[in-house]
Amino acid sequence: MDPNNDEKSLAEKNIFDAIAQEDLTEFKNILAQHKGKVDFFDENGMTALQHAAYKGNKDMVQLLLDRGADVNCGRHEYNYTALHFGALSGNSEVCKLLLDAGAKPTTTNSVGRSAAQMAAFVGNHHTVATINNFLPRSEIAYYSIVQGTQTEPSLPAFLVDPLHKFVLGVNIHPVRLALNLQHMQSLLENAEKVSKVLELLCKKEMTRGGDTNEVMAFKYHYLSYIVRELHNIKEKQKPSSSDKEDKKHDIVEIFAKKLLKPGKDGYSLDLMDTFLKDCVREFPYRECTTFHQMVSALTSKDPPTALSVINCTINGQRGFVDTVSYCSTCGEEKPAKKCSKCKSVQYCDRECQRLHWFVHKKACNRESSAPAQTSNSKLNIDASELSAELQNLVAG
């Protein structure tokens, strides 16, 4: 008997149990002892990668991909791919790993559904958006190579990865994008090049013939618009502050304060709405369906906010949103923290709470005089502590 075969069958037998039980230690042991290919199949023609994706287990998916697991292989009777299973699991990070590894988002199963359609079918909206917003790194890397008569590329090579990451983001709330850019200083420092490349990507999407992706084109235009606005704020700030660290902070804060400032009624974000409507108006491809849909939504009798129109355009129509909670600052879904004082608003973290405090402080004092609800203190951000800490910052 071939010892290799024996070893393989042992790994093949045990790895599916380890995945089923999500036993990562055992899973690693099996992989460590097994040499060679890791495209194991179970009795139904499902691969180990597909099982790990279905479990939504990011670590296991990563380990299998690191070992060269074939992301598009499988003999499942209904032609499900690893990406279909990842989409069903609802774990967007798993889907992202699979897409990065070359999973084809357009592959359909035997009933003609793509992975994103399966995710939508089971209500995994974030996963739908992750798959629909995906683009391979090579699309961005193209601009880091000298083209035609250029003497230097449109995009310096070191900006390829940050820009790719920025474009893949699913939360398109302008404050979230500004916060993301704050953590990718290189993009902000090269804002003019970055916004130019985003416009080039937009143009490229609109001139692909039959493969034109109007939604992605609009997304590029939108991102370019945000980057430019932050750049403009930075330019205006230039002569004043001498402390570099402070200045970085200021840009996002100025931007957030402008957009989050409530209008006359005390809650509608009129400035944000105007800012975003201008972005739609500046979209250069006015003949396309996407543009017409956005304009007709914005000019309808009881129009939704420009933010929700843009979000629907880029991330697709969604149902059942009433039950989901959002960060009051950046619109991130299911934020982890609450204002500890009033417990009536939620935030991603202290940074988001800080940026919103100038709006929330009045309401907070009102709300917190009402009887407090019980909740997990670990998840709360202490508003009184924060207000002291921020006295100087928010006083202006």
Q: How far is the CB of 330 from Zn ion (least distance, A)?
A: 3
Q: From CA 48, how far away is CA 68, in angstroms rounded? A: 12
**Is the Cβ of residue 60 or residue 381 nearer to Zn ion in the bound state?**
381
Piece of the chain touching Zn ion by CB under 5 A; list 36-44, 150-158, 202-210, 332-340: 332-340
Contact between 103 and 82 (Cβ < 8 Å): yes
Q: How many residues form the binding site for Zn ion (CB under 5 A)? A: 11
Minimum gap (Å) between residue 390 Cβ and Zn ion: 13
Structure tokens at 213: 């992706």
CB 40 within 8 A of CB 11: yes
Task: State whether residue 234 is helix, strand or coil.
Answer: helix
Q: Which residue among 11, 191, 352, 355 contacts Zn ion (CB under 5 A)?
A: 352
By C-beta, is 125 or 354 nearer to Zn ion?
Answer: 354
The answer to whether the beta carbons of residues 103 and 116 sit under 8 Å apart is no
The CB-of-378 to Zn ion minimum distance in angstroms stands at: 17
Q: Which is nearer to Zn ion, 65 or 383 (CB)?
A: 383
Measured CA to CA, the distance from residue 35 to residue 47 in angstroms comes to 17
Q: Using the rule CB under 5 A, is 332 a contact of Zn ion?
A: yes
- CB closer to Zn ion, 131 vs 383: 383
State whether residue 337 is helix, strand or coil: strand
Among 226, 251, 309, 342, binds Zn ion (CB under 5 A): 342
Cα 306 to Cα 292: distance, rounded to the nearest angstrom: 14
Of residues 183-212, those binding Zn ion (CB under 5 A): none
User: Binder to Zn ion among 118, 159, 191, 330 (CB under 5 A)?
Assistant: 330
Stretches 52-60, 191-199, 314-322, 346-354: which one binds Zn ion (CB under 5 A)?
A: 346-354
Nearer to Zn ion, 89 or 315 (CB): 315
Binding mask 270-309 for Zn ion (x = CB under 5 A): ----------------------------------------
Q: Which residues contact 139 (CB under 8 A, 6 or more apart)?
A: 201
Residue 286 identity = R
Query: Please, are residues 137 and 164 in contact by the beta-carbon 8 Å criterion?
Result: yes
| Span from 128-136, 180-188, 259-267, 380-388 in contact with Zn ion (CB under 5 A) | 380-388
Among the residue ranges 130-138, 227-235, 369-377, 381-389, the one whose residues contact Zn ion (CB under 5 A): 381-389
Separation CA 169–CA 163 (nearest Å): 10
- Measure the CA–CA gap between 381 and 337, rounded to whole angstroms: 6
d(CA 370, CA 388): 22
Task: Please give the structure tokens belonging to residue 94.
Answer: 């798993």
Phi, psi of 336 (to 5 degrees): -80, -20
Choose one: 107-115, 187-195, 231-239, 336-344; the region binding Zn ion (CB under 5 A).
Answer: 336-344
Choices 193-201, 219-227, 320-328, 386-394 (CB under 5 A): range interacting with Zn ion = 320-328
Residue carrying structure tokens 């790719």: 164
Q: Which residues contact 131 (CB under 8 A, 6 or more apart)?
A: 83, 87, 95, 99, 105, 114, 115, 116, 119
Q: Which of 178, 364, 381, 386 binds Zn ion (CB under 5 A)?
A: 364
The least distance separating Zn ion from the CB of residue 304, rounded to whole angstroms, comes to 21
Does 182 contact Zn ion by CB under 5 A?
Answer: no
Query: Which residues within the stretch 10-69 sit at the binding site for Zn ion (CB under 5 A)?
Result: none
Give least dist CB 348 to Zn ion, A: 3
Sole residue written with tokens 């474009």:
167
Q: Which stretch binds Zn ion (CB under 5 A): 111-119, 213-221, 259-267, 319-327?
A: 319-327
Closer by beta carbon to Zn ion, 119 or else 342: 342
Nearby residues of 168 by Cβ (< 8 Å), 6 or more positions away: 96, 130, 133, 134, 135
As a dihedral over the C-alpha atoms of residue 126, residue 128, residue 255, residue 335, rounded to 10 degrees, the angle is 0
**Near Zn ion by CB under 5 A: residue from 81, 329, 346, 353:** 329
* Contacts with Zn ion, residue ranges (CB under 5 A): 327, 329-330, 332, 339, 341-342, 348, 352, 364, 383
